[in-house]
Amino acid sequence: MTSTEAAATALEDHAALWGMGEIRATDVVTAACDALVSGLDSPALRILAACTRAEADYDVPDLLPPALDELGLTFHPAGSVAGQEAATRALAARMLAGKLTPRELAFQIHQRFGHELPLAEQLANLDDDYDVLEYGDRTQAQVDAEVTAEALRLAQHPRVPTEPTDTGPALPRQSDSHPKGKSSEIPPGSNWAPTCPFDSSSAGGTGVPP
């Protein structure tokens, strides 16, 4: 996976997590900054990446859908099954990246979706297993290994929605020539460079100026 493809996936994951209320709007802006730095580019992405902390909560809802659309990425409506599945895969990727423990992943999935989301059913069951460890003959390490195996399966799961995501007329595209993870071209001789109000190296947007 190239750096632009990785940034595109990260931006989609942040969109899914933000749509489920798992992360803040400022985190989405940080992901947009990272996407620009990686080489992805579109007019709406530039505007999104330029949002300040004070603007993020108000502007991300309007700017994120067209930014993803211009890049050929997918925005899932809040509460949709496709959005829940995307958030599940994004949380699994976070665990595999070391940002969550296996038990935290299982707990968050179970707390958020219960046993109602088929894609995440196994993780919800494993969260139940953690709760009864003291009464059984399995160790936490064994359950951790099962959660990790399930997270790997989810991370590799095809990103195909199980329900239609069309919520109305298509948003206008600046260009239809950018497949997922590919950067657009900046005109030769242009002095433009991505300038982000957020410190993309700071987790959770903690480097954002007030």
Q: What tokens appear for 76 in the block?
A: 């899932």
Nearest 10 degrees: Cα torsion 130, 203, 56, 46: -120
Contacts of 191 by beta carbon, 8 Å cutoff, 6+ apart: none
Q: State how far the alpha carbon of 124 is from the alpha carbons of 142, 155, 167, 178, in Å.
A: 16, 16, 29, 37
pLDDT at position 178 is 41
> What pLDDT is stored for residue 149 in this prediction?
97
pLDDT value of position 161: 43
Residue 85 has a pLDDT of 95
Residues in the chain: 210
C-beta atoms surrounding 59 within 10 Å: 17
Rounded Cα gap, residues 67 and 73, in angstroms = 8
Per the structure block, which two tokens stand in for 176? 């239809």
pLDDT for 198? 53
Q: Which pLDDT score is estimated for 63?
A: 96
DSSP classification of residue 171:
P
Residue spans of the chain under pLDDT 50 = 160-192, 200-210
Phi then psi for 21, rounded to 5 degrees? 80, 15
Q: What angle do CA 57, 62, 66 make, to 5 degrees?
A: 135
Position 78 scores a pLDDT of 82
> What single-letter amino acid sits at 134?
E
Q: How far apart are CA 27 and CA 202, in angstroms?
A: 10
**Given phi > 0 = left and psi -120 to 50 = alpha, else beta, which region is 61?**
alpha
The confidence score (pLDDT) of residue 32 equals: 96
